[in-house]
Amino acid sequence: MSIVLLIACIVVVTLIDWIAVLRDWGRVEEVAKPLVMLLLLVVTLESLDGAQRTAVAAAVVFGLLGDVALLNRIDAFIAGLGAFLVGHLLYVAGFAIEGLKPAPTAIGVVAAVVLVGALGRPIIAAVRHTPLHIPVAVYVVVIAAMVATSIGTTRWVAAAGGVMFALSDALLGNDRFVTPRTDRRIVVMVLYHLGQFAIVGGLA
């Protein structure tokens, strides 16, 4: 299958998933959401090579596992958190393989600290007296590392993807723990998908 056809398939399936989220079509989302990541995995394997392909493809696989864990029918939050945590670490590895430039990485660290301070602290505070406190805090630190290293590559599309992925996670955490709400699910999913696509596309 050509890369153009693969991308076309991803666009179609992603739009179907977004519509399913908007319309609350749970059964459709259960198929479309994992399929998006399966197609992205194929694109990753076709577009990257060497150790970077291994790291990024593995990150996409763990993203797929996280997506499945967070489906409404399953809602295994801890399993999803763990899967995405590993995925972020694998993206950090993929960015490191690309090569990190000192000055942009330093800027990335500052940006990540600002992002964590603004968006991560309220979530950590909300779970402070629960068993999720340490897992969520670790997750936030790993997200910060992912954002910093994505910027450090100076692959700006990939860096934008890292930021969008982090924003998606921040919204999801805020909606789940700080101000519980479900009406922003579409925003979370759009940022998440665009972030994943930009990371893979930016490194290709």
The residue among 94, 64, 102 whose CA lies nearest residue 200 is: 94
> How many Cβ atoms sit within 10 Å of the Cβ of residue 111?
19
Place 187 in a pLDDT band, splitting at 50, 70 and 90: very high
> How many Cβ atoms sit within 10 Å of the Cβ of residue 84?
25
Give tens-digit pLDDT for 143-166: 999 999 999 999 999 999 999 999
Place 104 in a pLDDT band, splitting at 50, 70 and 90: very high
Give tens-digit pLDDT for 46-97: 999 999 999 999 999 999 999 999 998 777 889 999 999 999 999 999 999 9
Type of residue numbered 40: L
pTM for this prediction: 0.94
Residue 25 has pLDDT above 90, yes or no: yes
Alpha helix ranges (H) inside the chain: 3-23, 26-47, 50-69, 77-98, 102-115, 121-126, 133-152, 156-173, 185-203
Q: According to the model, what pLDDT value does residue 73 have? A: 76
What integer best gives the mean pLDDT of the chain? 95
The helix (run of H) or strand (run of E) holding residue 130 is: none
Give tens-digit pLDDT for 112-148: 999 888 989 999 999 999 999 999 999 999 999 999 9
- Within 8 A by CB and 6+ apart from 148, the residues are 105, 108, 109, 111, 112
Q: According to the model, what pLDDT value does residue 1 have? A: 65
Residue 195 has pLDDT above 70, yes or no: yes
Distance from C-alpha of 201 to C-alpha of 108, rounded to nearest angstrom: 20
